Amino acid sequence: MLFETVLGGLTLALGAGARAVPSPLEVFKRDHTAGTVISKCSRPGVLALAYDDGPYQFTSSLVDTLDAAGVKGTFFFTGTLYGCIYNQAAAVKKAYESGHQVASHTWTHPHMGSMSASQIQAEMEKVEQAMVNIFGRKPQYVRPPYLETGGSFLSVMRQMNYTVITNDVDAGDWNNQSPQQSEQRFQQAGAGGNGHIPLMHETYSGTVTTLTNWLIDWAKTNNLEIVTVAECLDDAEGMYKEGTFEPNGQNSC
Ligand SMILES: [Zn+2]
């Protein structure tokens, strides 16, 4: 009954014959998370380190740090913010192959709230194609630049079946907070309750070294497991879109 209602609505929304009707499982998943904003983990005992704005010159060493500690992080990559993603393909691939979650932070890091639906879609599709070209998968998760979820953004994410992540702790590294000041924010947020999904940036050396190492210790002290964002939402199988996708040969931005 529920499926019929959802399917009926979807078919109407898409227009007859506009797109194949998704399987009930896909519909259920979409109904469950796509286009809704998630700011923290769905269970206690976990911490999801989530880094925005890469790939950057620190990506590879950050992967090494996480790997050495035996923990998993999430990388919200852009296409062009700090140079072209294809020029850092090795680091992107390394993050993926090491089992970290690779997710989307849009192609050019724009203010999505003021963009048209087709512009938003293009921002997402360029990142998808780059990731297909680099490691063969399309991301299922996005964190919008500036955490902006207004305008057409959420309805497009719903149509494109994206899980939208924001944050519940702000490290403040983007706002000149020192690693020590960021640490205080985590201590204030505390280790209890459902796990944190912090806003952090891999473009600050203090974040990728001092703060990351402190968080690894803080998690250990508080018996928190450091996992990917998808894992902390009990969605470990849902990091990437289902299906196989063909590279299109592009390797420049
Ligand atoms: Zn950003």
Instruction: Calculate mean pLDDT across residues 61-73.
Output: 98
Give catalytic status of residue 64 as yes or no.
no
198 touches 169 (CB < 8 A): yes
- Report pLDDT digits (tens) over 81-110: 999 999 999 999 999 999 999 999 999 999
Instruction: Calculate mean pLDDT across residues 243-248.
Output: 94
- Report pLDDT digits (tens) over 74-86: 999 999 999 999 9
Closest by alpha carbon to 139, among 190, 100, 181? 100
49 touches 71 (CB < 8 A): yes
Q: What domains does the chain contain, in order, with CATH numbers?
A: 34-238 (3.20.20.370)
Give catalytic status of residue 201 as yes or no.
yes
Q: What is the mean pLDDT of the chain?
A: 91
- From the candidates 170, 201, 234, 235, which is the catalytic residue? 201
From the CA of 51, how far away is ligand 1's center (Å)? 9
- From the candidates 31, 52, 111, 217, which is the catalytic residue? 52
The pLDDT, as a whole number, for residue 35 is 81
Instruction: Calculate mean pLDDT across residues 129-140.
Output: 98
| pTM, to two decimals | 0.88
